[in-house]
Structure 1
């Protein structure tokens, strides 16, 4: 049986589309069984609907508190019995309830080489610092900001004429490839988390 993926999105869903395309091959070893979002009317949801994948939306504003939103999001995701939850451009931090239920099986990407340049401005921070190489990181989500155990990393050179937009665009291309390859391996081979290290394979 393929691994069951629930993907959470907040925007255009290009990483989601890459996962949907990969999962169309039975050899990939995973299928997207649901897509959730924190706001309606986004292209990520439309991509899922075009692919025939069930969707759900849960806005923070529709819940009495951020903690209530987190608990309800956890419940909605659990309804689809995921083996892995992929945060694909999901612009909200998941919290205590979500991690208590799904922790260790939630992955996210960051457009920098962790632990360098955490937070919302990884490409800009890398450019400002003057590094010659940056990239993207796939990590297991924990309670921190971009602090979880590293599953995979990919490097991207910083060119002399780069601005934030050109650098971020190249990082996103490399990030997408890394995400698809790594999630496929996690699905097919299994993985274990041992301290700070993630090992692929059973």
Structure 2
């Protein structure tokens, strides 16, 4: 009974459904950071940069589609509304692989922007350092102070110890990859998939083909 408490009740589905809603918003936030990186760096007009942003937008949209899909495909079970389990677990499998990729794309877009920053806010207290910051942190899109503020936020989301923990969390909070893939295997409608194959195979046979050749002769 203890072993079945997650899968014999809605508990496991509800727990992981809210995780996908959370991740959907989290990816939207990271995509927003990506867009602002390109605006501040003045690279958002480059075709290759827009291609990277388009890829990020597609990946964030895919996770959002998973969430809407598991809701619209859900059904009532014993008085409770259950999001579709297979789409739920499918989303987990994909996003375990996706999160680190999204972070790496943000690193590529930022380049050295998240590294070449003042070490501390106390640097602004020193007039000489403040003048250097003013000269070296310029952007056509914002002031030097705003640029430092933004890239400190971007580093917190992508490269800090806090960000590293989040990356590890998104990869393993639902279990190792073989665990989530096992959930997807267990809940997928294999009969519906193999039924398509069987329908085609049943539509012709060796004897029927030979019969057609004989009639044609």
Q: TM-score range by the shorter chain?
A: under 0.3
Given the two structures, how large is their TM-score scaled by the length of structure 1?
0.24
Q: TM-score, normalised by structure 2?
A: 0.23
Larger RCO (CA under 8 A, 6+ residues apart): 2
Higher helix share: 2
Name the structure with the higher strand share: 1
